[in-house]
Amino acid sequence: MKWRPGAGRIRLLPRLSAANSGKVRERLMKIYYNKDANLRVLKKLSIAVIGYGSQGHAHANNLKDSGMNVTVGLRKGGASWKKAQRAGLPVAPVAEAAAAADLVMLLVPDELQADMYRDQLAGKMRKGATLAFAHGFNIHYHQIEPRPDLDVVMIAPKGPGHLVRSTYVGGGGVPCLLAVHQNPSRQAKKLALAYGAAIGGGRAGMIETTFCDETETDLFGEQAVLCGGLVELVKAGYDTLTEAGYAPEMAYFECLHELKLIVDLMYEGGVADMFYSISNTAEYGAISRGPQVIDAAARQRMKTMLEQIRSGEFAREFVLENKAGAPTLKRSRTRMSEHSLEQVGARLRGMMPWIAKRKIVDRGRN
């Protein structure tokens, strides 16, 4: 396949960082809170949030509730246009919103960002404006080379967008990573801090990092632990029980439903609170059998995955997947929806109306 210049090009070597150069870093993490952010610098500006998906709806609504001047940039007639309007937000076509903004937060899917920057932002954004990201992929892997007059920052919430919204509404916030990639104005960090605070991150903590470290840790976390590792662990446990002849309903409760109760305990008080709450039988089973599931070979495979992220191999694969129309993703979504875990789960959740009543994801609204 021939690379087009600009969008969609993968340089095999991502940007270098201390981590990439193999040096061990021993620096204290700096964590910022609301007291370190000055919301006034942001109140004077007009903000365009491009995209109204998981992150987009959360940023736009949190910014608005924090008193900021925000417009949502979307495709005219796209599915999100009405959702954003119904939330009481001003909506405009992408290029128009970008042209009128001092700060543009790009929250369309990563695989669309390079084309969107090239076609609708690069020629429209104001001189000296700020281009912001919630994930470093396109900068780190050279898919976007921003105009030199732009400040380029990242405010990356460490949680799903729907929780960025629901946690903020509940008075809390989701921790964020902040980074500055370009800083011609010398104001980039101040703006990033204010933006992070305005979406709720300053309540939980905002860690200053680099586009490189955010990208590599984020990809690794979602692949190995949070999304990839977890779903396979649940499926493998469910399959083991059902293939041995146990009831799918029991397997579902055991391997998926109960996970939330366990994770809530870890979220509140770490592994210690979880072990405190479960039986000694469960704790002994956990410490003696857990390392057999995640054994030395699994840890070695995690190291290999991290290497594929750092070398750019994963990024290249993902860019190619999307150029081919995302066949692997589409196939996997169909296969997963047909898995009995998902079908049994839908039926059982239907019997627990309080779950539906407090659902974080409501596809018609967010």
Question: What is the rounded CA–CA span in Å between residue 92 and residue 76?
Answer: 8
Question: What is the rounded CA–CA span in Å between residue 61 and residue 68?
Answer: 10
93 is a site residue for ligand NAD (CB under 6 A): no
156 is a site residue for ligand NAD (CB under 6 A): yes
Nearest distance, CB of residue 61 and ligand NAD, angstroms: 13
Between vectors from CA 133 to CA 127 and to CA 136, what angle results, nearest 5°? 120
Tell me the CA distances in angstroms from 188 to 98, 154, 181, 193, 229, one per residue in order. 18, 10, 9, 9, 36
Nearest distance, CB of residue 241 and ligand NAD, angstroms: 30
From 46-54, 146-154, 265-273, 340-348, span contacting Mg ion (CB under 5 A)? 46-54
Helix (H) / strand (E) containing 217: helix 211-220
Within residues 159-218, the interface with Mg ion by CB under 5 A covers 218
- Burial class from Cβ neighbours inside 10 Å (0-12, 13-18, 19+) for residue 51 reads buried
309 is a site residue for ligand NAD (CB under 6 A): no
Tokens of 128: 């000296």
Nearest distance, CB of residue 83 and ligand NAD, angstroms: 8
Question: What is the rounded CA–CA span in Å between residue 107 and residue 132?
Answer: 9
160 is a site residue for ligand NAD (CB under 6 A): yes
Q: Of Mg ion, ligand NAD, none, which one sits near residue 134, judging by CB under 5 to 8 A according to partner kind? A: ligand NAD
Within residues 59-88, the interface with ligand NAD by CB under 6 A covers 74-75, 78, 80
52 is a site residue for ligand NAD (CB under 6 A): yes
112 is a site residue for ligand NAD (CB under 6 A): yes
Query: CB-side exposure of 246: number of CA atoms within 13 Å?
Result: 14
Binding positions for Mg ion, rule: CB under 5 A: 54, 218, 222
What are the residues binding ligand NAD (CB under 6 A)?
Answer: 51-56, 74-75, 78, 80, 94, 107-110, 112, 134-135, 156-157, 160-161
